[in-house]
Structure 1
């Protein structure tokens, strides 16, 4: 059959050739008794699979379903339960395979039933993508990659497409690879890095539960596991794509030179972050104050910088190097207890010997003031212009800022205690001397 397509592009001619081959194959199947027997076997295999699946699936569902159980086997059983929709297409595929062996022994031909078997496998892949995969990324991967591959296999075109992709060579500089390597790399890369992200999440959950471990060590383990997982995934991806890692030596050298010159700050901050995580001098949850005036609670430690959250809700990004090269005051490193003091004054008419006991008893009544490491201590600080200066020192858990107003509460207690004992808090007083008398007096 000649359609006279010589004036059309080669791709059109090739498509027409495939169409003609399909037409001749369909015509052969329609006129062949062996083909009709294979069609009959396909129908019988599918109907038998339907009957078996109707009885098998409910029984398996009752056997596997853990119900409301929460034991260690419940989650795996629920996972297996999700694969029950594959029973019908896989049974049809298996029964068709048995029928294919029978047909080939009888007619020495089984192309029709082989095509039907591939169609049943495509239906199994379709059920997997549609009914079983719940992760959005995996479902998208199944629709974009797995289903087209299964469709090409069902149509018998997978080997042809694979040959075309293998023979098409592309390159960048001295590195050359085939299109099939790119396709393999995209598929393998997507799967590997999804597995890496999933593994990293599971590992982070396990490490976060180790409360006996120091927070800095937990952070270091998290970063180490993350770099290890994605490093291994990258190496596997390069091997799957067939790229020789030795060809990346020049690129690695260029990156090393870049780190030595343009990226030295980034490298310094990265190394400083590792030192911080190992030594644990500052970690997540600590309240710190730097030489530059930055102060706040560390809410996140990253490879390059740490994030401080101030009490007014602002986030400050501080490079890790600043924690190593400058002076850092850590209010939480040796524990959460901190000492504060509240200054006050009394008038010169006061019996100052009674003041310490009164104030210490009043401040000790505050529920957040600690007896350890030291109870409240009222000290005489000096004799001022308007009154006698005292200060009470007290220890509390936490920082006197944000949600905590320890000094304010203590000053209220001091005020009430002095008022209850009729002790006067002086106000500034000045003596003004007018030399020469008042102007009105002289005229009088």
Structure 2
């Protein structure tokens, strides 16, 4: 063994130690009695859990359809019923340990059994209870191996070894244990931050009495607070002095001054948009640059529009502040459109407005306010007399809504019913001189 690496020597030493311990247990009456107590504790826990589980399930399960916080809490408790067996075994084993130590003065075997039952509880937690893919991954590769080391009594030795092993990056040195602890804590904190952010966003989204822009601002504020707190807690757990963040803040300030001013400008513009509420999620807007669509997301840096042809347009928030923006949906305001058409010169045009206005009014989405449909004479064209009917609707004449098309159908049918001709282009060809022969 002298020529082997240090880690190999330690592993072989642990194997020898485990073999000697196993031999001692096999030849010890006290050890056999503790094995017997472990079996009795497990069988007793098995019987009790089978009797108790249906009773607890019936008592805790809320009535179908209940959605109160108490009902949700009861459903959450039900998720942990698979832990009943290993935890009862752990409890009964603990009672047996007290008896064994009082009789034999030792309880190493039964203490090992307690740790095994805790390992089984951790395994059941990861396998049967945790549904989130990220938490299941942490449990599979971190919690279960750690509990296995704890069950074997090696967790403290491994922790000491990882603490003594250091890594150096330039002038910074840190132990492997600190890195592992930071990785675990960071993963849990930011998962919890994401979950808390989703819950707070869902809760704020249900507050119908708040303006949409105010809800968006509240969601963004909660997100910044939650992840900011998670970051500060992680720094504290890793032992990083928070006063060093002042230097980092100064560096970030210099970076903003030189290369990140656009990002800062877009972020501040996004906050102003949310505060003023002049454009919010669900509004149909058109910018000076030609971008037009329905706002579907308002992010920290940009606003995402969805056009009626299915394209997503990412518009920097600054453009909403520095350029002209037409909002077609502000506070659900109505919009005016017009449908042009022509009639023959043989028509009595004095009848046209009444016929067309009566036909257009029949459309279920045409509004009487602020103005009812209005048919106007626009001019005398080459092929016919030009009219247009103006009408008001709530919404945009695009996408799912085809108001102008519907109105033109109504006009066509109404004019056909009255026998009024809608002309097609006419051209008069004048030929001067005699026609050529042949």
TM-score higher than 0.5:
yes
Distance 2:256 2:151 in 1: 51
Given candidates 33, 40, 46, the residue that maps to 2:42 is 46
Q: State yes or no: 1:64 paired with 2:63.
A: no
Given candidates 254, 257, 262, the residue that maps to 2:259 is 262
Q: Conserved in 2, the CA contact under 8 Å of 1:175 and 1:247?
A: no
Distance 1:439 1:28 in 2: 132
Q: State yes or no: 1:323 paired with 2:320.
A: yes
* 1:239 positional shift: 0.9
Q: Deviations over 1:102-159 (max 9, x none)?
A: 3323333222221122112212222222222222222221111111111111111111
State the TM-score, normalizing by the size of structure 2.
0.91
Query: Relative to 1, partners in 2 of residues 1:78 and 1:426: Cα closer, same or farther, differing over 3 Å?
Result: closer
Q: State yes or no: 1:210 paired with 2:207.
A: yes
Distance 2:16 2:419 in 1: 112
Given candidates 21, 24, 27, the residue that maps to 2:23 is 27
State the TM-score, normalizing by the size of structure 1.
0.90
1:223-242 paired onto structure 2 within 5 Å: 223-242=220-239
Distance 1:231 1:215 in 2: 24
Q: Which runs of 5+ in 2 are unaligned?
A: none
Q: Deviations over 1:332-385 (max 9, x none)?
A: 114242101123344555443333222222221222211111101122334445
Distance 1:152 1:428 in 2: 91
Q: State yes or no: 1:369 paired with 2:366.
A: yes
Q: What is the aligned partner in structure 2 of residue 298 from structure 1?
A: 295
Distance 1:440 1:164 in 2: 112
- What secondary structure does 1:402 align onto? coil
Q: Which runs of 5+ in 1 are unaligned?
A: none
Distance 2:285 2:101 in 1: 79
1:39-438 paired onto structure 2 within 5 Å: 39-66=35-62, 68=64, 70=66, 72=68, 73-426=70-423, 438=433
Distance 1:62 1:423 in 2: 77
Q: Conserved in 1, the CA contact under 8 Å of 2:112 and 2:151?
A: yes
Query: Relative to 1, partners in 2 of residues 1:175 and 1:422: Cα closer, same or farther, differing over 3 Å?
Result: same
Query: Relative to 1, partners in 2 of residues 1:277 and 1:27: Cα closer, same or farther, differing over 3 Å?
Result: same
Q: Conserved in 1, the CA contact under 8 Å of 2:115 and 2:151?
A: yes
Larger CA Rg, structure 1 vs 2: 1
Distance 2:142 2:420 in 1: 85
Q: Conserved in 1, the CA contact under 8 Å of 2:60 and 2:75?
A: yes
- What secondary structure does 1:296 align onto? strand
Q: State yes or no: 1:18 paired with 2:11.
A: no
Query: Relative to 1, partners in 2 of residues 1:109 and 1:361: Cα closer, same or farther, differing over 3 Å?
Result: same
Query: Relative to 1, partners in 2 of residues 1:124 and 1:357: Cα closer, same or farther, differing over 3 Å?
Result: same
Q: What is the aligned partner in structure 2 of residue 439 from structure 1?
A: 434
* 1:237 positional shift: 1.1
Deviation larger for 179-188 or 38-47: 38-47
Query: Relative to 1, partners in 2 of residues 1:68 and 1:358: Cα closer, same or farther, differing over 3 Å?
Result: closer
Query: Relative to 1, partners in 2 of residues 1:69 and 1:357: Cα closer, same or farther, differing over 3 Å?
Result: closer
Query: Relative to 1, partners in 2 of residues 1:167 and 1:430: Cα closer, same or farther, differing over 3 Å?
Result: same
Distance 2:227 2:148 in 1: 32
Distance 2:294 2:151 in 1: 60
Number of corresponding residues? 436
* 1:55 positional shift: 2.7
